[in-house]
Structure 1
Amino acid sequence: MRRSEIKDGDAEAALAYLCGKAEMDSSFFYKFNIDEESRLANLFWADSTSRMDYACFGDVLAFDTTYRTNAYKKPLVVLVGVNHHHQTVVFGCALLMDESVGTYEWVLETFLEAMMNKKPISVVTDGDKAMRKAIKKVLPETCHRLCSWHLQRNAFTNVHIKDFSSIFARCMFMRGNEEEFEKVWHEMVANLGLNENRWVTEIYGKRKRWAEAYLRGNFFGGMRTTQRCESMNAYLNRFLKIRLRLYEFVQQFDRAIMRIRQNEAKAEFESNNSSPVLSTKLSIIENHAATVYTKESFIKFREEMKNAELFFVVGLGMLGEHLSNERSDMYIDCGELNNLKKTMECACADSRISAT
């Protein structure tokens, strides 16, 4: 019924193409609305593979807007994540009439409808105000992180002090807790005389969306920036040109996505049909990890193992009701653990860590 109301023949052809895909793919989802002049306003679509990818890897969502992809200059939003091969996957995309809060709300609400109302744990964006307001309304419980690359660029643009962007980055990624961050931040602001700087004041007010001290403990799948979105946009621009009409656009978009999925299939084949050379002293654990992880995940895990194998037990000191200040290699019954205090000493530094 809506399609019959649309006056634009090009939009009608694009919708006919998507309708044809839905007939071949029972899980294909698309939705659109029209403006007051009966022209296509917003269009969202996601095929069965994108929906399945989101079901598996949809804990983290990243999206931004790109332009110059079609003849009507309609903004394109690509919603992406990261899969088990650490590759970018496309969960869905939308062509928009504008970049208002209401339009982004429609995109997110339609996206959730397509994904059976599964909400992401966290979302990463470039800091667009309209996006932020839409996320706050549609995904109020989702942790929203601002792109660190955009923040550093804005720091360089808005604060004309030598090396400020580097100093700001150190604050952003510092390993301390919230109290330590606050102390370092206020000292930095006072030392550089930035108490009256408008951008510094505003960005401090958003610190819970960019400071590692406040974000620690939330899952982001390794994403701190919208770089995956921007890389995807750059890739899509090889297929999508400004002169494309809508029916050409949806066809070319399909071609681009097929290429991406071929890369995933290749990575899947390599993971299933190759075995890495074991290189750590923890061979039993390493061999097991190689069988359960994908190739890329295993490589990251092995780096952690290499760090872990640098530690080794040189003795065990025990303190308790029955054992006091004795160094022993005895087997300890689990029932005794409640009464024991264990001390670990690092031989490479003059330090001692005690844990009960």
Structure 2
Amino acid sequence: MLIDYEYFGDVVSLDTTYCTNRAYRPLAIFSGFNHHRGAVIFGAALLYDGTASSFKWLFETFLEAHKQKKPLTIFTDQDQAMAKALQKVMPEVFHGLCTWHLMQNGIKHLGNLMKDGSHFLNDFKRCMYGIDDETRFEEAWSVLLVQYNIQENTWLQSTYNIKEKWAACYMNKAFTLGMRNTQLSESVNSDIKSCMKPDLDIMQFFKHFEQVLEEKRYNELRCEFETRQKLPRLKLESSPMLRQLSEIYTLTIFHLFQVEFVLFAAAYIKYKNETQPLFEYVVG
């Protein structure tokens, strides 16, 4: 965990929605992506409760274990006590909301709007992911509230008040490594739930938890082997940049880069106006 965090700890997800026993003690999991876009766990802790003081201890202990190295960005759920503690311990770290948990909360609070062929969920996702301009976001949000007659919904009001933590147009400058999608949360959630049995004592739980870690380490070794043994297919074989990076990047990262590179190669200038002092280009 220490080595993984040293290499990949710039963006961290913290999940405390797991409970390990009948007393519902929260289990905190710090996780992130490795260079294969696989989920890695940076740390875990059993908490006594979910108060701000407990989360403050959690963040301080996590930083102490990792030589006070702070992430650039940390994603959490909408827990207010956690947000309060994070602001005290790491005020300079960007705090974003995990969109997977946000959608789960949306389904919990607004499930009645998602029945009988309703498009509410897609419209809400569009506000979250599909709009990169703040003015257009505000317009779309207003239309959403009016269309579904939910102007007075308290959950939506509180969620809107922290839109800088989840709306794509307000997070353009945040360093996220693509963690806003649900891939990481769903992967870790699936793995951890396999050892979340209320009848396990603490020793049995950690034995199961260690097995989850070992499986993740094995998956990374398998990805390393595949990267060393396989050559990626170049979409532009004459490109010296793609040839060079195919020898440096892992298969997963190279694929992500190549998609963007091909899109860049397909771009062209449809219109330009180079009248000083303003230079305007329309790219197709």
TM-score by length of 1: 0.69
Establish whether residue 77 from structure 1 lines up as the match of residue 28 from structure 2.
yes
CA distance in 2, matches of 1:141, 1:152: 26
- CA–CA separation in structure 2 for the residues paired with 1:163 and 1:343: 38
1:309 is paired with a residue whose SS is: helix
Match of 2:55 in 1: 104
Cα offsets for 1:23-59 (capped at 9, x unmatched): xxxxxxxxxxxxxxxxxxxxxxxxxxx1111111111
Among residues 140, 159, 163, which one is paired with 1:207 in the alignment? 163
The question of whether the paired residues in 1 share the 8 Å contact of 2:18 and 2:196 is answered with: no
Matched, 1:113 2:64: yes
User: What is the CA–CA distance in structure 2 between the aligned matches of 1:175 and 1:99, rounded to whole Å?
Assistant: 34
131-140 vs 157-166, which deviates more? 157-166
Q: Pick closer, same or farther for the CA change 1:140–1:317 going to 2, 3 Å.
A: closer
- CA deviation after TM superposition for structure 1 residue 183, in Å: 3.1
Amino acid at match of 2:103: Q
- Go from structure 1 to structure 2 and tell me whether the alpha carbon gap of 1:68 and 1:187 turns closer, same or farther (over 3 Å shift): closer
Q: What does residue 63 of structure 1 align with?
A: 14
Question: Of 98, 105, 109, which aligns to 1:147?
Answer: 98
Alignment of 1:1-356 (within 5 A): 50-67=1-18, 69=20, 73-159=24-110, 160-161=112-113, 162-225=118-181, 228-239=184-195, 241-280=197-236, 282-311=238-267
8 Å contact from structure 1 (residues 64, 226) kept in 2? no
The root-mean-square deviation of aligned C-alpha atoms, in Å, is: 3.0
Displacement of 1:269 in angstroms is: 2.1
Distance 2:57 2:272 in 1: 62
Structure 1: segments with no counterpart, 5+ residues: 1-49, 321-338, 349-356
Report the Cα offset of residue 95 of structure 1: 1.1
* In structure 2, C-alpha distance between the alignment counterparts of 1:86 and 1:236, rounded to whole Å: 18
Residues 203 and 258 of structure 1, relative CA distance in 2, 3 Å threshold = same
> In the aligned structure 2, how far is the partner of 1:226 from the partner of 1:121?
19
- Preserved contact between residue 126 and residue 146 of structure 1 (Cα < 8 Å): yes
**Higher mean C-alpha displacement, 148-157 vs 296-305:** 148-157
Partners of 1:179 and 1:239 lie apart in 2 by 45
Is the Cα–Cα contact under 8 Å of residues 269 and 282 in structure 2 kept in the other structure?
no
Aligned partners of 1:149 and 1:249: how far apart in 2? 25
For the residues of structure 1 that align with 2:278 and 2:90, how far apart are their CA atoms?
45
Cα distance change on mapping 1:152 and 1:342 into 2, 3 Å:
same
Closer/same/farther in 2, CA of residues 248 and 59 from structure 1, 3 Å limit? same
2:15/2:28 contact within 8 Å kept: yes
Give the TM-score of the pair, scaled to structure 2: 0.85
Amino acid at match of 1:150: H
**In 2, are the aligned partners of 1:76 and 1:95 still within 8 Å (CA)?**
yes
Q: 1:281 to 1:210 in 2, by over 3 A?
A: same
| Pairwise CA distance, 1:306 | 2.2
Where structure 2 has 5 or more consecutive residues not aligned to the other structure, the ranges are none
Runs of 4+ aligned structure 1 residues displaced above 4 Å come to 70-73, 316-320, 339-346
Determine if contact 1:61/1:80 at 8 Å carries over to the other structure. Answer: yes
In the TM superposition, residue 128 of structure 1 has moved relative to its aligned partner by: 1.8
Q: Judging changes above 3 Å, is the alpha-carbon distance between structure 1 residues 81 and 281 closer, same or farther for their aligned structure 2 residues?
A: same
Q: Percent identity?
A: 34
* 1:220 alignment partner, SS class: coil
Q: Which has the larger radius of gyration?
A: 1
Aligned-pair CA distance for 1:298: 0.4
